[in-house]
Amino acid sequence: MTCPPYVCKCLECNTEFESTAIILLSGYHGGDFWSTAGSPCCNADYEELDKAPSESSAVTTLFIRRKSREAYPEGKLDSGGRWYPSEFETTPGCMSIRSPSAAYPYNLLTHCRTKKHIKELISIRGVDAVRTRFLEA
Ligand SMILES: [Zn+2]
Ligand SMILES: [Zn+2]
């Protein structure tokens, strides 16, 4: 048996996620690892897969956390209340997004919550760097 986090698969929609997502969503940090909470995507039964967390499971975990507002993309607001990603958070794909304006102050924040952005972030910065920065805090 490997150490946590484990890769789990939702039996409802087959999405893979890490066991840390279950601990986080059930509000538990350490201790009783065998949480009775369901999968973070469907709150359904899940099975543990006998493999180490992969790049794709890091994408899924971070996506779910950002979507559920358990975690926020890294960035800051300027004096006009417009949100900009940090240097680490910024990827080439972000350049095709319109710069935030008074009318759309959070369009980059919304973009940084997308699976496409998270996938690119992990492929560029490396799964370990992203895991350390965003999934083990
Ligand atoms: Zn599911
Ligand atoms: Zn981006």
pLDDT in tens, 20-39: 777 655 555 444 444 557 88
Domain spans, the chain: 7-48, 68-135
49 CA distance to ligand 1 centroid (A)? 15
Ligand nearest to the CA of 64: 1
pLDDT in tens, 85-133: 999 999 999 999 999 999 999 999 999 999 999 999 999 999 889 988 9
Rounded to two decimals, the pTM is 0.66
Task: Give the per-residue pLDDT at 25.
Answer: 57
Q: HEC profile for the chain?
A: CCCCCCEEEECCCCCEEEHHHHHHHCCCCCCCCCCCCCCCCCCCCEEEECCCCCHHHHHHHHHHHHHCCCCCCCEEECCCCCEEECCCCCCHHHHHCCCCCCCCCCHHHHHHCCHHHHHHHHHHHCHHHHHHHHHCC
User: In the structure, what pLDDT confidence band is assigned to residue 48 with cuts at 50, 70 and 90?
Assistant: confident
30 CA distance to ligand 2 centroid (A)? 32
